[in-house]
Amino acid sequence: MSSARTLEAIQYTRGNLRILNQLALPHETIFEPVLNVQDGHAAIKTMKTRGAPAIAIVAALSLAVDAHARLEKNEFKSVDEAKDFLLSSLEYLKTSRPTAVNLFDTAGKFATLINKLVQNGAQEPKDLVMPIVEAAEQMLVDDVQDNKNIGKHGAEYIVNHVRDKSNISVLTHCNTGSLATAGWGTALGIVRDLHRNDQLKHAFCTETRPYNQGSRLTAYELVYESIPSTLICDSMASALLRLNPSVQAIIVGADRVAANGDTANKIGTYQLAITAKHHGILFIVAAPSTSIDLSMQSGKEIVIEERPANELVTTTGVLLDNNQSTTVRTAAQGINVWNPSFDVTPCELISAIVTEKGVAVKQPGQTEFDLKAFLS
């Protein structure tokens, strides 16, 4: 199913935003309009749009289309009214999901820009709105370039640090590709680079219960790109590493990386790091520097989102005979549910953190990363 067309989760032209409803993948490709910040918040909260970078981009673009439409209709009667709308909308968008830092990083940068424009004497609402529209649009461009750089740095690091560079298979978790970003992807971007460089023997991906980002999204991307790949259950990871010596690296994304390298990522990441350590293979975190939160020294401070119980007791994307996908209940009625969407992998289990700026590694004898120094 290889195609020259790249997969995209976000379709945008100025004043128009549509998002791919990822709850319907892989069976149905449904793009839905996002007209305002309420639509953007809902798309993120319901996980129609997901993935740390994509969450920030869709939030920013939902603000851009909302503010642009209001500007076109002359709804802002003053600079102050435009400022109040923009700042309150950013605070509202931040309430959609708590763990991925990219959204909060973007909201902070946009608020700083707005306040700076006001201090510099913005005269009309457009003097605030249009720089925000342009900043949101620039995120689409920057994210793809960041991911291309992550792919390049990550592929080089893996090839130079595995035991047998002629026999490289990798395992990845969740979805970190074009469906989680503006394009190419982070961890899956490294897989794309290894494949494009003819350095990849095979890519394994986990189902990633309960939302099934792996079976529904990553498998979809790997098949789409004709990358030799195999889907496994989350519970099969250790057996795979024990039985298949070609798997020499586990590559995952990140939602929030603390200054010492502790990493919040999709639930199940921590146990993959443990089994990577046990089997003596690389455990690589791939993320843009906007996923690094230097305000948090360690992962102890990271808020872990808990998702609704119904997302665990049901399975989304079940295909019916009429080719419609649906959600079915699989767990017994009445059972209690714990459904954290993320876990935190301690820095001592992480081999390297690959960013668009390069690869962060620990100093010899150190168990922590010094990401403040790495990014300075």
Ligand X SMILES: CSC[C@H]1O[C@H](OP(=O)(O)O)[C@H](O)[C@@H]1O
Residues labelled catalytic: 255
Nearer to ligand X, 137 or 311 (CB): 311
* x/- track of binding to ligand X for residues 142-171 (CB under 6 A): ------------------------------
8 A C-beta contact, residue 264 and residue 174: no
212 binds ligand X (CB under 6 A): no
CB of 14 to ligand X, least distance (A): 25
Nearest residue relative to ligand X (C-beta): 253
213 binds ligand X (CB under 6 A): yes
50 binds ligand X (CB under 6 A): yes
174 binds ligand X (CB under 6 A): yes
Nearer to ligand X, 144 or 180 (CB): 180
Candidate residues 26, 40, 51, 268; the one interacting with ligand X per rule CB under 6 A: 51
CB of 35 to ligand X, least distance (A): 22
Candidate residues 21, 176, 206, 260; the one interacting with ligand X per rule CB under 6 A: 176
Nearer to ligand X, 275 or 291 (CB): 291
Nearer to ligand X, 52 or 122 (CB): 52
* x/- track of binding to ligand X for residues 6-45 (CB under 6 A): ----------------------------------------
Candidate residues 36, 106, 181, 316; the one interacting with ligand X per rule CB under 6 A: 181
Nearer to ligand X, 207 or 255 (CB): 255
183 binds ligand X (CB under 6 A): no
- SS3 per residue for the chain: CCCCCCCCCEEEECCEEEEECCCCCCCCCCEEECCCHHHHHHHHHCCCCCCHHHHHHHHHHHHHHHHHHHHHCCCCCCHHHHHHHHHHHHHHHCCCCCCCHHHHHHHHHHHHHHHHHHHCCCCCCHHHHHHHHHHHHHHHHHHHHHHHHHHHHHHHHHHHHCCCCCCCEEEECCCCCCCCCCCCCCHHHHHHHHHHCCCCCEEEEECCCCCCHHHHHHHHHHHHCCCCEEEECHHHHHHHHHHCCCEEEEEECCCEEECCCCEEEECCHHHHHHHHHHHCCEEEEECCHHHEECCCCCHHHCCCCECCCHHHHEEEEEECCCCCEEEEECCCCCCCCCCECEEEECHHHCCEEEECCEEECCCCCCCCCCHHHHHC
Would you state the structure tokens that stand for residue 149, as one six-digit string? 């750089």
Nearer to ligand X, 76 or 104 (CB): 104
53 binds ligand X (CB under 6 A): yes
Candidate residues 178, 186, 229, 289; the one interacting with ligand X per rule CB under 6 A: 186
Phi-psi region of 208 (alpha: psi -120 to 50; beta: other; left: phi over 0): left
284 binds ligand X (CB under 6 A): no
253 binds ligand X (CB under 6 A): yes
345 binds ligand X (CB under 6 A): no
Q: Which amino acid is at 212?
A: N
**Phi and psi dihedrals of 228, rounded to 5?**
-60, 120
Candidate residues 180, 194, 257, 292; the one interacting with ligand X per rule CB under 6 A: 180
Under the rule (CB under 6 A), what is the footprint of ligand X?
50-53, 174, 176, 180-181, 186, 213, 252-253, 255, 265-266, 341
